[in-house]
Amino acid sequence: MQTALTKIVLSSVSWHLVWLWLWFLLGTFWYIGKRAYYLVTGPNPVASTYKQFFQRCWLPLLLREIFDGVLFWLLFNQSIAADGLQYLGWQKFSGVVSAITQFAPVAFLFGHYIDSLADTIISKVPGFKDWLPQMPGPLPPTPAQAVAKAEAKAEANAVA
How much is the pLDDT for 160? 66
Please tell me which residue, 78 or 51, carries the higher pLDDT value: 51
Distant-in-sequence, close-in-space partners of 108: CB < 8 Å, separation ≥ 6: 23, 24, 26, 27, 30
For the chain, where are the alpha helices, taking DSSP H only?
4-12, 15-41, 50-75, 78-88, 94-100, 104-124, 126-129, 143-159
The predicted-structure confidence for 95-152, as pLDDT tens digits, reads as follows 888 899 999 999 999 999 999 999 998 888 888 888 888 888 888 877 777 787 788 8
Residue ranges of domains in the chain: 14-159
Give the mean pLDDT of the chain: 88
- What integer is the mean pLDDT of 55-76? 93
What does 31-53 look like in DSSP terms, one character per residue? Answer: HHHHHHHHHHHSSS-S-SSHHHH
What pLDDT score does 1 carry?
62
pTM of the model: 0.79
For the chain, the C-alpha Rg in angstroms (whole number) is: 22
Q: What is the pLDDT of residue 113?
A: 95
